[in-house]
């Protein structure tokens, strides 16, 4: 499955908070982009070099939450499948609130 590129990575970061302004200036000083624009990808690259434990904590949390959601989705899908099979086998319609 090809998920393609994440378009957010190439977005220029808008300076709408004090933290963003500081971080964009910091990353801009480090990377010195030709066009003067700092992208999300540049910030991630800088953070991965200078503060990897921060990115790891965020990545781990996202992975755990995503995995947990996938397991819930499988359980729901299995329950729906079981209900559909029971309806087909018994030739009855279950009410939605059962």
Does residue 87 sit within a domain?
yes
Q: Is the same domain home to 45 and 72?
A: no
In a domain, 1, yes or no: no
Q: Alpha carbon 76 to chain centroid distance?
A: 22
- My answer on whether 63 and 73 are in the same domain is yes
DSSP labels, the chain: ------GGGGPBPP--SHHHHHHHHHHHHHH--TTSPPBHHHHHHHHHHH-HHHHHHHHHHHHHHHHHHHHHHHHHHHHHHHHHHHHHHHT-PPPTT-
List the domain range (segments joined by +) for residue 76: 52-98
Give the residue among 67, 68, 10 at the shortest CA–CA distance from 39.
10
Percent over 70 (pLDDT), the chain: 89
Query: Tokens at residue 55, please?
Result: 């990115």
Q: What is the pTM of this model?
A: 0.65
What pLDDT was estimated at residue 2? 64
Domain presence at residue 14: yes
Give 63-98 pLDDT, tens digit per residue: 888 888 899 999 999 999 999 998 888 875 555 555
Residue 66 and residue 26 in one domain: no
Percent of the chain with pLDDT over 90: 56
Q: Are residues 34 and 74 in the same domain?
A: no
Q: Tell me, yes or no, whether 60 and 46 share the same domain.
A: no
Same domain, 57 and 86: yes
């Amino acid at each position: 499955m090809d998920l393609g590129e994440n378009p957010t990575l190439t977005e220029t970061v808008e300076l709408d908070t004090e933290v963003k302004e500081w971080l964009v200036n910091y990353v801009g000083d480090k990377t010195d982009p030709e066009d003067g624009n700092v992208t999300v990808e540049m910030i991630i690259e800088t953070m991965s070099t200078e503060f990897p434990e921060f990115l790891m904590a965020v990545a781990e949390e996202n992975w755990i939450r995503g995995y947990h959601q996938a397991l819930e989705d499988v359980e729901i899908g299995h329950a729906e499948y079981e209900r559909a099979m029971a309806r087909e086998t018994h030739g009855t319609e279950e009410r939605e609130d059962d």
